[in-house]
Amino acid sequence: MYIPRRQWSRRPPPNNEPVYLTPEGIERLRTRLARLKASLPAAIEETARTSAYGDRSDNAEYKEAKGILRRTKGQILNIEDQLKRVVEISTGPDDAGRVRLGSTVKLSIESKIKTFRIVGSSETDPSRGRISHTSPLGAALIGHIVGDTVTAQTPAGAQKYIIVDIR
């Protein structure tokens, strides 16, 4: 009977797209990176300690420690890659008063007023009013001025929004 060998997954090709982050988002990434780097020596020490227990093929503690070490190193590499590609988002409208990435937009939706901040994909949180520039509404708002009516395709169908204010 033929038993196939395990194929190791290759890393995906490098992503060269920019990562749009607010200054707060950049600081959060840097803080997380520092925390992960600070925990790395303890993870290495734990891996070395558990490897001394004997046969590694049956050593569950070693396997767990090695998994934690791999995840930590992977997260560090991921964050360092994101920080290399980061583009800081400035706030407010552009020079012509149009909505752009980083703008806070007040919209009138069927006589209700809602406020959204347009941010990069990694910082979205619709419950807090932070939408991505690639979302249907975010993409529809980019480039418009106060008073424009914007139509965005939502799961419930086409929705009309009137831009009341841009900050």
- Burial category of 4 from C-beta neighbours within 10 Å (exposed 0-12, middle 13-18, buried 19 and up): exposed
Name residue, tokens 């020596």. Answer: 41
pLDDT beyond 80 at 20 = yes
Report d(CA 121, CA 135) in Å as an integer.
8
Residues forming CATH 1.10.287.180 domain(s) in the chain: 19-88
Residues forming CATH 3.10.50.30 domain(s) in the chain: 104-166
pLDDT beyond 80 at 4 = no
Q: What is the pLDDT of residue 54?
A: 78
Name residue, tokens 């937009």. Answer: 105
Residues with Cβ within 8 Å of residue 17, at least 6 apart in sequence: 85
Q: What is the pLDDT of residue 7?
A: 55
pLDDT beyond 60 at 8 = no
Asked which of 52-56, 85-89, 103-107, 163-167 is least confident by mean pLDDT, the reply is: 52-56
pLDDT beyond 60 at 110 = yes
The fold adopted by the segment(s) 19-88 is Helix Hairpins (1.10.287)
- Burial category of 96 from C-beta neighbours within 10 Å (exposed 0-12, middle 13-18, buried 19 and up): exposed
Mean pLDDT of all residues in 6-12: 55
Q: What is the pLDDT of residue 127?
A: 93
Give the tens place of pLDDT for each residue, 64-105: 999 999 999 999 999 999 999 999 998 888 888 999 999 999
The fold adopted by the segment(s) 104-166 is Chitinase A; domain 3 (3.10.50)
Mean pLDDT of all residues in 9-28: 81
